Amino acid sequence: MTTLHTELSAYYTSLATANQCGERVYAQPDRQDEFALLRERVAELVQGHKVLELACGSGYWTAAMAGAADLVLATDNNPLMLKAAQARDLPGQKVQLAQIDAFEVDFANDYTACFAGFFWAHVKREQQTDLLARLRKITGKDGLLILIDDNYLEADTAPVARTDAEGNTYQIETLADGERYEYVKNFPTDSALRKKFAGVAKDIRILRLQHMWLMSCRLK
């Protein structure tokens, strides 16, 4: 029987090794209008900001922010993903790449905004409070936080394989290497997002599209 890998890092390493780097989602024809809208919205939000990007992956959103932000530090814990981001020929005077685990970021008031695209869904519910506290330390009061992630669409989303005791949902996917990977993939509703962030953020704004959602807020 094929081994079921349960480390998210192994999943993304497999994608990168197959030269996919998570790019499949960005190539889906039915998402192109939404991606165009979200790129424009993200660029507007980060205008003039010093941005810390978590789990930058192949640098898709890094490139979208590079022209508007004053500075972007794009981080990822996977060196193969960072290599893919580097291949985008991002403007070196405004964009820096660094291998840093999102759960270990430790800066103090060095950035005015944090961005995470397709990462919040992988953050377990029991890890969210600690991560938000880290981000608050990084941006200081009124720091901007921007999240983008997937909606659950029954006809378009891999089924939820299981739900754990904390309420986290998991998906299982077989990749090009023939291996099976199980990973956390949560799909919060607008009300769940507002409830989670109400105590730590203000000016919470959610844009819910067909396939994806964007949330922006100011950390208290």
* Predicted pLDDT of residue 179: 86
Separation between Cα atoms, residue 51 and residue 22, nearest integer Å: 22
143: closest CA among 40, 219, 49? 219
* Predicted pLDDT of residue 140: 94
* Predicted pLDDT of residue 20: 61
CATH topology of domain 31-152+188-219: Rossmann fold (3.40.50)
Separation between Cα atoms, residue 106 and residue 52, nearest integer Å: 11
* Predicted pLDDT of residue 1: 52
* Predicted pLDDT of residue 21: 56
Structure tokens at 162: 């299981």
CB contact at 8 A, 120 and 147 = yes
CB contact at 8 A, 135 and 145 = yes
Q: What is the mean pLDDT of the chain?
A: 93
- pLDDT interval class at 19 (50, 70, 90): low
* Predicted pLDDT of residue 53: 98
106: closest CA among 78, 73, 142, 145? 73
- pLDDT interval class at 6 (50, 70, 90): confident
